[in-house]
Amino acid sequence: MKRMNYQKYTAYPAVNLSARSWPDKTITKAPIWCSVDLRDGNQALPVPMSVEEKVAMFQLLVSVGFKEIEVGFPSASATEYAFVRRLIQDRLIPDDVTIQVLTQSREHLIRKTFDAINGVKHAIVHLYNSTSRLQRDVVFRKNKDEIKGIAVEGTALVRRLRDESGNEGIRFEYSPESFTGTELDYALDVCHAVMDTWGASSDNKLILNLPSTVEMSLPNIYADRIEWFCRNIKDRNAVLISVHAHNDRGTAVATAELALMAGADRIEGALFGNGERCGNMDIVIMALNLFSQGIDPELDFSDLPRVRDVYRRCTRMDIHPRHPYAGDLVYTAFSGSHQDAISKGMKARALSPDGLWAVPYLPIDPEDVGCNYEAIVRINSQSGKGGMAYVLEKDYGIQIPKWMQPDFAEAVQAVADTTGVELSPDQIHELFHLEYVKLREPVTLKKCNISWDDEAPLSCDEDSTSLSCIVQTKEREFSFEARGNGPLDAFVKGFTRESGLEFSVDEFAEHAIGHSARALAIAYIKIGCADGRVSFGAGVDSNISLASIKATVSALNRLP
């Protein structure tokens, strides 16, 4: 076997943190959320959003309940600038929503950013510069003091422009970009300098965003870094600790959740994880993770199909069918054991006195996010008997008894194996009728009359029911009359006597399909022959007695 060149990489350093507390913490409330869909998500698109698409996305985010929305990098392009002006001039920002604008720590970009937000009621100016060792050495070729000086100069200018504007609704956020690649003590040193320059206090809180710009470690190590930072910052009450996790290792949600346990106050992310490279932390997943634990996420994803539709239309990006909570297949079960468990769970929940959700394989009720149960059970060659029975009962009122389900499952799987595709509920329904109900050969029931003794029409005496039938087989047509304790008993006795085929009824079930006076009856039967053969059948008729006789004929036609 060829080995990959793993020796060109080195392990991310652990944090020297004693008595870490975050593993014992639990999340009990939602964080402050900030959507970065319109900035980080937008700049990562092959075709960036137009102003109109940005407006549609902004309105979606507002309707979901975001109170802080990063709307762009207004100094970066004319489109970004025009969009911010459109939001302000057309008064599209609700009074309880704060927009956030990003800028590098460069004077002309900061001034352009303030031009863009002129007249806004509430805004966060988000300043950043990269502090990581790699970028200091390779990209900027500056030492630690020079990099810290960039952060301090930018912060001073933002403060001065904020004061000159007289707008007390402007707040400040600073990000030591590539925090995950920055030495902890140096990141703290830069942030302390920014706090001093801004004049951070409990009444004038600074947002310190500590981004996993590149996800480089296990989530627990990132949590250690956040706890270390919260322990060592000189005035914890003067700052809100924010995290912005990317998904390079595929664990951004876990990273954000553990960071919240470690002391973070605020989470930045994007719908469905959109963003540069492998994307940002997925706010839909994290919010619904909280929801599944009985915690109010303070975001409304009760109409997830609408959120998906707007997202797809504005970003031209798709959503993976297995995407947690939001994918087209996440409330679907193909596996037979899963289908059976879901079916039983649905029935049990209807009788649950506490109303709590407890259905196997479904962590939340699909209805809570605007989805439904229509596609929970789908049938292919991997499906089991419980799934097929669930589809027929839910969609068509056909309640196949357990002792018959394995027989029908074989028929379904034979078709699925041959076609190699998923079978729709309509196809399952039609196959049931073809397999059991519509059989006319080799035995055909041409005529059947049933009568009861006038003295005791409802009695169960051995000979209380009379039956006369005409039956056609491949060999001949014959008629018979018989008596029994019911129509089915009489038919079995008469057919056995006339045909010479010895068989007995081993299982029988029946029920109505529907609830009206015109509802049909369906009967299911299992017969066993003296020579050891077994067969199953079903019959449908407006008369339950005739349905049971038709089911017997069906079983006779299916004898191997």
Q: What is the mean pLDDT of residues 494-509?
A: 92
Is-contact 226 264, C-beta < 8 A? yes
Residue-wise pLDDT tens digits, 355-413: 899 999 999 999 999 997 554 556 665 666 677 887 888 889 999 999 999 999 888 88
Q: CA 453, CA 461: separation in Å to the nearest integer? A: 10
DSSP letter for each residue of 98-159: EEEEEEES-HHHHHHHHHHTTT-SSEEEEEEEE--HHIIIIII---HHHHHHHHHHHHHHHH
Statement: residue 431 has pLDDT above 90: yes
Q: What's residue 375's pLDDT?
A: 46
Statement: residue 342 has pLDDT above 80: yes
Q: CA 369, CA 255: separation in Å to the nearest integer? A: 24
Q: What's residue 199's pLDDT?
A: 97
Q: What's residue 299's pLDDT?
A: 98
Residue-wise pLDDT tens digits, 219-265: 999 999 999 999 999 999 999 999 999 999 999 999 999 999 999 99
Q: What's residue 380's pLDDT?
A: 64
**Residue 336 confidence class, pLDDT cut points 50, 70, 90:** low
Identify the residue with better confidence: 190 or 459. Answer: 190
Residue 350's Cβ-count burial label (10 Å; 0-12, 13-18, 19+) is exposed
Statement: residue 285 has pLDDT above 90: yes
The token duo for 61 is 């985010």
Q: What are phi and psi of 331, to 5 degrees?
A: -110, 35
Q: What's residue 419's pLDDT?
A: 83
Q: What's residue 416's pLDDT?
A: 83
Strand order, beta sheet including 465-472:
444-452, 465-472, 477-484
Q: What are phi and psi of 177, to 5 degrees?
A: -55, 150
Is-contact 381 417, C-beta < 8 A? yes
Residue-wise pLDDT tens digits, 522-534: 999 999 998 999 9
Domains of the chain in sequence order: 27-315 (3.20.20.70), 336-434 (1.10.287.1400), 444-557 (3.30.160.270)
Is-contact 508 524, C-beta < 8 A? yes
Please list the alpha-helical segments (H only) found in 454-503: 487-499
Q: What's residue 148's pLDDT?
A: 97
Please list the alpha-helical segments (H only) found in 293-436: 304-315, 336-350, 385-396, 405-419, 425-432
Closest of 413, 385, 442, 430 to residue 559, by C-alpha: 442
Statement: residue 72 has pLDDT above 90: yes
Q: Count of CB atoms within 10 A of residue 237's CB?
A: 11
| CA–CA distances in Å: residue 116 to residues 34, 44, 155 | 20, 22, 18
* Pairing mode, strands 266-269 and 98-104: unpaired
Q: What's residue 242's pLDDT?
A: 98
Residue-wise pLDDT tens digits, 171-181: 999 999 999 99
For the chain, percent of residues with pLDDT exceeding 90: 78
Statement: residue 48 has pLDDT above 50: yes
Is-contact 194 207, C-beta < 8 A? no
Identify the residue with better confidence: 414 or 294. Answer: 294
Residues paired with residue 268 on neighbouring β-strands, in sequence order: 34, 244
Q: CA 299, CA 282: separation in Å to the nearest integer? A: 13
| Average pLDDT of the chain to the nearest whole number | 92
Residue-wise pLDDT tens digits, 302-333: 999 999 999 999 999 999 999 999 999 898 87
Closest of 208, 182, 310, 246 to residue 44, by C-alpha: 246
Q: What's residue 341's pLDDT?
A: 85
Q: What's residue 377's pLDDT?
A: 57
Q: What's residue 458's pLDDT?
A: 52
Q: How many residues belong to the chain?
A: 560
Q: What's residue 346's pLDDT?
A: 85
C-alpha 116, offset from chain centre: 38
For the chain, percent of residues with pLDDT exceeding 70: 96
Q: What's residue 355's pLDDT?
A: 84
The token duo for 317 is 């990006």
**Residue 354 confidence class, pLDDT cut points 50, 70, 90:** confident
CA 175, 177, 179, 184 torsion: positive or negative? negative
Q: What's residue 460's pLDDT?
A: 55
Q: What's residue 394's pLDDT?
A: 82
Q: What's residue 382's pLDDT?
A: 61
Q: CA 280, CA 268: separation in Å to the nearest integer? A: 8
Amino acid at residue number 448: C
The token duo for 442 is 């080799």
Q: Is 179 helix (H, G, I), strand (E, B) or coil?
A: helix
Is-contact 553 537, C-beta < 8 A? yes
DSSP letter for each residue of 42-81: HHTSSSPPPHHHHHHHHHHHHHHT-SEEEEE-TTT-HHHH
Is-contact 124 100, C-beta < 8 A? yes
